[in-house]
Amino acid sequence: MSSPVFVALDTPDLHLALTIAEKVKVHVGGLKLGLEFFTANGRSGIKEIAKLGLPIFLDLKFHDIPNTVAKAIQALRPLEPAILTVHASGGRAMMEDAKAAAPNGTKVVGVTVLTSLDGDDLSSVGLAPDPHAQVERLTRLAYEAGLDGIVCSGNEVAAAKAFWPNGFFVVPGVRPGGEATADQKRVMTPRAALDAGASILVVGRPITQAKDPDKAARAIAATL
């Protein structure tokens, strides 16, 4: 992998996604496609993006009963994504079935605590107001379920890596110094996240909404 940076193509517009991907493909390591893109463009849209030759991170964050999640992932097997996400809070059995259903070469990672959530948000849904403790709990569960790694903020990745030295750690909410955080609450710079133990960095708006996406991608790559 040439770069740990995966650019998040969070748009329903296939043409726009392809245009941005073409501009940045030399300076990023892969492309992340989430719910916004998938619900608008489906499997055919993913196949179009995959033609660019970069690894595809299919970020659909599955969270349902084990059987439903397994069958949904089986339906995606022909796409052979490099990475798939499930919510670790779906429980051990769901994660076990998700991993078993995934293609052999696909990394299945568990989303721990979304980077848009802080302690107050966790309290509002009945959880202890400590994102770090919740990430630790779900990291252990994902490890026990046989997943390849987790998704967490840069603030928690060092502790996760200390517990799981060979884990695969996806860090979203990455923002270059001085960038607006928008709806992200637990953010970190790309360099700091990588130093803390991130395997890949997910960068969206700082690249996709830049006047020159390629220049923005190159600037981030230069800090790494």
Count structural domains, the chain.
1
Segments forming the whole domain that contains residue 84: 5-223
pLDDT at 180: 47
Run means of pLDDT, 10 residues per run, the chain, 224 residues: 88 96 94 97 97 97 98 96 97 98 97 87 88 93 98 92 96 70 64 93 92 91 85
Q: What is the enclosing helix (H) or strand (E) of 199? A: none
Looking at residue 105, which CATH number applies to its domain?
3.20.20.70
pLDDT at 177: 63
Is residue 23 flagged as an active site residue?
no
Active-site hit among 32, 61, 71, 99:
61
Rounded CA-CA distance 101/111 in Å is 17
Rounded CA-CA distance 102/39 in Å is 20
Helix (H, G, I), strand (E, B) or coil at 96: helix
pLDDT at 178: 46
